[in-house]
Amino acid sequence: MPDAASDALHDLVLSSLDDDKAQDIVDIPLAGKSEIADHMIIASGRSTRQVAAMAQKLSERIKKDTGNPVRIEGLPAADWVLVDAGDIVVHLFRPEVRSFYNLEKMWGMDAAPDGASPSERTIGE
């Protein structure tokens, strides 16, 4: 079950991605489904440069606000960058790469019960 620190980290990640103009942000709650994290967040950037910049800024913001280290994988190519912040795992993609791997479908988030697409169920507050 997520705690206050996990909720604050979750809000920080979503805010950072929104500030950096991430596209199609999808938040997949994992609490009770997986031990790897409380949330998996998937987002797209328009280019490898934007994906890399979002990952680096996110890492810096998390380190500054929480003091916790963040692991980043995939930064040199920046087609798919994984940001592991502990309770929150963030996947940042170029749109073509995201379509190919389709993580939302793998986690059962390809369509909401009401027929909405994953991007229509995102947190954009």
CATH of the domain at 11: 3.30.460.10
Domain assignment present for residue 122? The answer is no
- Domain of 86 in residue numbering reads as 4-110
> Which pLDDT score is estimated for 47?
96
Q: Which residues contact 93 (CB under 8 A, 6 or more apart)?
A: 42, 43, 44, 45, 51, 79, 80, 81, 101
Domain assignment present for residue 78? The answer is yes
Domain assignment present for residue 115? The answer is no
The one-digit pLDDT tens for each residue of the chain (125 residues) are: 458 888 999 999 999 999 999 999 999 998 888 888 999 999 999 999 999 999 999 999 999 999 998 999 999 999 999 999 999 999 999 999 999 999 888 776 654 434 444 443 444 43
Domain assignment present for residue 67? The answer is yes
Alpha helices in 67-102 (DSSP H): 95-101
pTM of the model: 0.83
> Which pLDDT score is estimated for 2?
55
Work out how many domains the chain is built from and give that number: 1
Domain assignment present for residue 116? The answer is no
